[in-house]
Amino acid sequence: MMRGIRFSAGNGVAFLLVAATAIVPFVTQNLFVYSTLNQALIGIMAAISVHVMLRMDLLTFATPPFMAIGGYAVAIVSMRFDIADVFVLGAISFFTPTLAAILLGPLVLRLRGTYFVLVTFVLSEIMQLVLFLTPRLTGGSNGLVGFPAPTVFGISLSDNQSVLLLTTGLTVVAVVIAAFTTGYFRQHFSAIEENETLAESLGLVIWHYKTLGFIVSAGISGLAGFALVNMLLMAHPSSFTSVTAVNYIAYTIVGGRASLLGTAIGAALLVFATNLLGGQGEYSEGLYGLLIILVVLIAKGGITGSAATLVQRLRVSPQPAATPSKLAQEAQR
């Protein structure tokens, strides 16, 4: 199988879009923009972790528990051990969930399809119970409140601008890691997505790549957990319920599950839509529901997938091709 990184244009655009949000803190002071953008970027990271698993045809509910592991690890380290350096915290938020994924992978990745969905769902429920049952470590139902501002080279990142900049930075890292993984192993992932049994029979050691994908997905979730804890200034079980996994799945599916760009667009659009509805925030769930149903029934590839199909059709359409049925009709004459 051919190796070598191939960065698609879509990945490049996704990277530029996310990186461009770093300008926002220098352009506006609008708090509504800050909070929406923060949520959108966290949504993008979480959705990317779903996307990476979907590249292997695995629908995961395990994003919130890994976010919880990353977020709580950072909160515990910085609150108990006074470690505030952003790079250390970022590494902890990435590698702790990764470690959990390495331990869980051999168990969970034996399953496919429906069973994988169920096992990740059960995992997210278990995580909630564990958080409630370990009050000494995680603060139980109170969570860990009063997350101190992280520092970069000794400068404290406590104001709104730097909170947003930190989230942007984490998202850029997440996009790069995801683009690198899915780009370098594009064919391996595609082979697993297409037909795992066939891929295995052709000599692909699938558990290598499935474990890798799972680990990367977990690490990216952890980064999202860090950003979330930093934004809310606390780690709380209610931030990581299995229901939130549904949102991240919705972002991915609505935006376009096949590409990073689609995933990012879906997350950004849905978060902005929810925030713009503002006072009618209670409608957002139903809106997600309707969008998911519509996308599944009408636009299978999501926003970017449908756009790509449309472009392709427009390119081809100038000369109507002879369809097989027409040929068949002529043959009958």
- Give the nearer residue to another protein in terms of CB position, either 179 or 267: 267
Question: Rounded CA gap, 152 and 150, in Å?
Answer: 7
- Give the nearer residue to another protein in terms of CB position, either 243 or 310: 243
Please report how close the Cβ of residue 320 comes to another protein at its closest, in angstroms.
Answer: 28
Please report how close the Cβ of residue 112 comes to another protein at its closest, in angstroms.
Answer: 7
- Give the nearer residue to another protein in terms of CB position, either 77 or 300: 300
Name the nearest CA neighbour of 274 among 283, 261, 264: 283
- Give the nearer residue to another protein in terms of CB position, either 286 or 318: 286
Q: Let me know if 246 is exposed, middle or buried by CB neighbors in 10 A (0-12, 13-18, 19+).
A: middle
What residues contact 105, with CB distance under 8 A and at least 6 apart? Answer: 210, 211, 214, 215
Amino acid identity, position 162:
S
Please report how close the Cβ of residue 253 comes to another protein at its closest, in angstroms.
Answer: 6
Tokens of 90: 């970022």
Which residue ranges make up the site for another protein (CB under 8 A)? 57, 59, 107-108, 110-115, 117-119, 121-123, 125-126, 129-130, 132-133, 242-243, 246, 249, 253, 282-283, 285-293, 295-297, 300
- 302: alpha, beta or left? (left if phi > 0; alpha if psi -120 to 50): left
Please report how close the Cβ of residue 292 comes to another protein at its closest, in angstroms.
Answer: 4
- Give the nearer residue to another protein in terms of CB position, either 18 or 295: 295
CB 52 within 8 A of CB 181: yes
Please report how close the Cβ of residue 243 comes to another protein at its closest, in angstroms.
Answer: 7
